[in-house]
């Protein structure tokens, strides 16, 4: 079910601030060789990432891939040990305050002031983000409309449902009409219906021209919302492209799933590896990538209990990160 459109403009499409000689926008986010260590652990390990202005980039990776650390680096709540970071043309960490003033941030963990009303939360953030006095009232009401809480503006945060709080958290990040919104796992831990609601909200935001960087470990979320997906593993971006191109490039057109007894699957695995095909095991299933390229001789030995399906981003994710999805 789609969320009814509130009619409230999510954010202004900022006019292109700097025109480079080629007439192209500089990337909203540009990271080069970024390294962040915590003692012996290297959370971010030579990260390169560009997020073009006006696009939605999904940073997809398993837990521990360095997504949250990357998000913290972008607001200078973590300081990189090495590398260059630019946000909207501002160098980090030196000019991070200017960058933060132009960004909205949706945290992974709810940090709303529970004693306040929805409207008060937005009033506080309108001040923190320096919305001019004359525009504050309108900005707060606009953000309430984005959160679909216009009729419940005076309800205390404690009285709101989990989904309403999440919507408010997103609306809170938009109160100053940022050019760039950073979302750290915006739908983590929510039930599927609420997640779909938030997807509509994020899709609207993206349609309004705001640049979005969204970290997630939900494949479907990245596939639906992101123009570009950057797959992150062990602190690096291991692949970056449109979801479709990533699938074609890394997983081919088709994946074949073979069900069977473990010993039989082990035999098949050996056979397929010999023939040069990538496989993965998920419980009682063996998946064969690039199944469309399987030679008939091999197919003959599989078709008995194999099912062909279109390759998905999940196949790419598992292939590139070596992680199974639960």
Partner 1 sequence: MSSTHVEHPPGESRARRLRRIEPAAIGGVLFRERTVFTRYWMSTTFSSVVEPTIYLLAFGFGLGALLSEIDGLSYIEFIGTGIVATAVLFSSAFPGMFGTFVKRRFQRTYDAILAAPVDVGELVTAEAIWIALRAGVYCNAPLLVAVVFGLPPSWGMLLVPFIGFLTGLGFALLGMFIAGVARSIDNFNYVISALLTPLFLVAGTFFPVDAIPGGAQIATANPLYHCVELVRGAVFGFGGPGALLHVGALVIFAVTMWRLAIWRLTKRLID
229 binds partner 1 (CB under 8 A): no
Candidates 5-13, 125-133, 187-195, 308-316 — which segment interacts with partner 1 by CB under 8 A?
125-133
Question: In the complex, what is the shortest distance from the CB of residue 58 to partner 1, in angstroms, rounded to a whole number?
Answer: 20
3-class secondary structure per residue, the chain: CCCCCCCCCCCCCCCCCCCCCCCCCCCCEEEEEEEEEECCEEEEEEEEEEECCCCEEEEECCCCCCHHHHHHHHCCCCCCCEEEEEECCEEECCCHHHHHHCEEEECCCCCCCCCCEHHHHHHHHHHHCCCCHHHHHHHHHHHHHHCCCHHHCCCEHHHCCHHHHHHHHHHHHCCCCCCEEEEECCCCCCCHHHHHHHHHHHHHHHHCCCEEEEEECCHHHHHHHCCEEEEEECCEEEEEECHHHHHHHHHCCEEEEEECCHHHHHHHHHHHHHCCCCEEEECCEEEEECHHHCCHHHHHCCHHHEEEEECCHHHHHHHHHCCCCC
190 binds partner 1 (CB under 8 A): no
Site for partner 1 in 203-222 (CB under 8 A): none
Question: In the complex, what is the shortest distance from the CB of residue 235 to partner 1, in angstroms, rounded to a whole number?
Answer: 14
For partner 1, give the closer residue by CB, 37 or 264.
Answer: 37
41 binds partner 1 (CB under 8 A): no
177 binds partner 1 (CB under 8 A): no
For partner 1, give the closer residue by CB, 129 or 277.
Answer: 129
25 binds partner 1 (CB under 8 A): no
State residue 210 phi and psi, 5-degree precision. -75, 140
- Binding mask 57-96 toward partner 1 (x if CB under 8 A, else -) reads ------------x--x--xxxxx---------xxx--xx-
For partner 1, give the closer residue by CB, 101 or 238.
Answer: 101
| Site residue total, partner 1 (CB under 8 A) | 40
For partner 1, give the closer residue by CB, 16 or 82.
Answer: 16
For partner 1, give the closer residue by CB, 186 or 243.
Answer: 186
24 binds partner 1 (CB under 8 A): no
For partner 1, give the closer residue by CB, 87 or 233.
Answer: 87
Per CB under 8 A, residues contacting partner 1 are: 15-19, 36, 38, 69, 72, 75-79, 89-91, 94-95, 97-98, 100-101, 103, 105, 107, 109, 111, 113-116, 120, 123-125, 127-130
């Amino acid at each position: 079910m789609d969320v009814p459109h509130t009619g409230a403009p999510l954010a202004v499409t900022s006019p292109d601030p700097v025109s480079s000689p080629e007439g192209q926008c500089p990337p909203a986010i540009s990271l080069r060789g970024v390294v962040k260590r915590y003692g012996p652990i290297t959370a971010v390990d030579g990260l390169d990432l560009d997020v073009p202005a006006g696009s939605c980039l999904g940073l997809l990776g398993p837990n521990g891939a360095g997504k949250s650390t990357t998000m913290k680096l972008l607001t200078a709540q973590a300081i990189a040990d090495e590398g260059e970071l630019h946000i909207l043309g501002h160098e980090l960490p030196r000019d991070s305050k200017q960058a933060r003033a132009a960004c909205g941030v949706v945290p992974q963990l709810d940090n709303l002031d529970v004693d306040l009303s929805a409207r008060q939360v937005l009033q506080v953030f309108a001040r923190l983000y320096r919305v001019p006095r004359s525009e504050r009232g309108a900005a707060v009401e606009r953000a309430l409309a984005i959160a679909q809480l216009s009729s419940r503006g005076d309800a205390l945060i404690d009285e709101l449902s989990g989904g309403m709080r999440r919507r408010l958290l997103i609306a809170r990040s938009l109160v100053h009409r940022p050019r760039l919104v950073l979302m750290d796992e915006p739908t983590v831990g929510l039930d599927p219906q609420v997640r779909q609601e938030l997807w509509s909200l994020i899709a609207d935001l993206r349609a309004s021209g705001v640049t979005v960087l969204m970290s997630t470990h939900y494949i479907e979320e990245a596939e639906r919302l992101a123009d570009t997906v950057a797959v992150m593993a062990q602190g690096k971006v291991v692949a970056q492209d449109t979801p479709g191109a990533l699938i074609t490039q890394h997983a081919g057109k088709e994946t074949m799933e073979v069900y069977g007894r473990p010993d039989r699957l082990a035999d098949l695995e050996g056979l397929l590896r010999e023939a040069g095909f990538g496989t993965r095991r998920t419980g009682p299933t063996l998946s064969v990538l690039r199944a469309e390229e399987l030679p008939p001789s091999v197919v003959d030995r599989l078709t008995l209990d194999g099912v062909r399906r279109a390759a998905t981003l999940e196949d790419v994710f598992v292939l590139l990160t070596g992680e199974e999805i639960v």
